[in-house]
Amino acid sequence: MRHTRIAAVFTHACAAALAATALAACGSSDSAVSHGGVTTLRYQGWTDQVTNAELADALGFFGGRIKLDWIGNTISGPQDIQAAATGQTDFGGAFAGAVAKLASAGAPITAVVDDGGADDQTFAGYYVLDSSSIHTAADLVGKKVGVNTLGGQNEADIHDALKKAGLTLAQIKSVQLVPLPPPNTEDALRKGQIDVAALQGGQFQQRALADGGIRPVFTELEQYGPFNGSEYVVRNDLIAENPAAVTAFATGVAKAIEWQRTTPVDQVIAEFAKIINARHRPNEDTSTLKYWRSVGIPARYGAISDIDFTRWQSWLQDTGAISGPLQPSKFYTNRFNSLAVGANGG
């Protein structure tokens, strides 16, 4: 297993951005195909999980305007939005820092609705075995941390926690990030392959806690409070060519977010199981769905705001992704989410 330092440059983001720029002019003919008022959007899913877009589709919240075409599963948020930027898919979701990083590198993408975050029920945490000598964020220096991807929110969380603890950039760089699929991170911790496990809010974290024998060093909720962490992005050529489809998509996702917020947990879980069982994808398992707690998005109707991006400015600057202050208005818009107006003050 290859160990990569926390300060490793997100070079594949830049490569994707360059490729996206080259493909933007010619990729549109292969994407977002529309027939009879229905636009087909290609996308990637997540194993054993139901995305907000998939839920919106299943519940009819796209109003018959959008048809989803699953092309496979993603391995991470950064990879997912790179696929969208380069024309392999039509939309993707990742944490706002990765969106800002890719867009700053020149990728023609815009965030249009929230896709994840942290609330008092659902948040990522950084867990160790009960017997571990690690008790504070500062103890992560020189340790191996299992994360879902490089260049993602786990990396930013760790950077921010260690910087807040007064550690130097050199000390922060000594933390070894070990990319692991979320379903396998708990097992790697228990086998001693990593010192700390970044367990994403929701079913995998709750399963690990139910298994016992672990404790948190810190959590996103402790670090930031409730926050909107990730967004769905679409390519700018799709926005220019089919704004009605983008509106149907963003508004449908917004409805799905609120449906999860207002529907009893057992009914949400039942709907997720129904969707997974009906799609017949290989090697999927619904057993961890029982640990789902909440949608994890504080913003009503998934409305995006500047703070969703500026929160990650220190990490972006320290890792060399940007050289000056962020300009969030370049990365997102709420104008295609017809339910966002007034939801969070604008």
Q: Which residue has the higher pLDDT, 257 or 11?
A: 257
**286-342 per-position pLDDT tens digit:** 998 999 999 999 999 999 999 999 999 999 999 999 998 999 999 999 999 999 976
What CA–CA distances, in Å, run from 9 to 77, 142, 144, 169, 316? Answer: 16, 19, 18, 14, 11
Average pLDDT, the chain: 90
What CA–CA distances, in Å, run from 251 to 101, 156, 230, 248? Answer: 25, 29, 16, 5
Chosen CATH of 125-224 out of 2.60.120.200, 3.40.190.10, 3.20.20.140, 3.40.50.2000: 3.40.190.10
Contact indicator for 329, 256 with CB cutoff of 8 Å:
no
Mean pLDDT over 86-105 rounds to 97
b/e sequence 117-148, b meaning 16+ C-beta within 10 Å: bbbebbbbbbbbbeebebeebebbbebbbbbb
Bridge-based pairing state of the strands 38-45 and 66-73: parallel
Q: Is the pLDDT of residue 278 over 90?
A: yes
User: Binning pLDDT at 50, 70 and 90, where does residue 13 land?
Assistant: very low
**182-204 per-position pLDDT tens digit:** 889 999 999 999 999 999 887 78
- pTM equals 0.87
**99-122 per-position pLDDT tens digit:** 999 999 999 999 999 999 999 999
Q: Is the pLDDT of residue 27 over 70?
A: no
Q: Is the pLDDT of residue 167 over 50?
A: yes
**235-251 per-position pLDDT tens digit:** 999 999 999 999 999 99
What's the CA gap between 193 and 254, in Å, rounded?
39
Mean pLDDT over 167-171 rounds to 97
Query: Looking at the chain, which residues constitute the CATH 3.40.190.10 domain(s)?
Result: 10-119+226-330, 125-224
Query: How much is the pLDDT for 100?
Result: 97
Query: How much is the pLDDT for 34?
Result: 76
The architecture of the domain spanning 10-119+226-330 is 3-Layer(aba) Sandwich (3.40)
Q: Is the pLDDT of residue 158 over 70?
A: yes
In one letter, which amino acid is 146? Answer: G
Q: Is the pLDDT of residue 31 over 80?
A: no
Q: Is the pLDDT of residue 179 over 50?
A: yes
Query: How much is the pLDDT for 9?
Result: 31
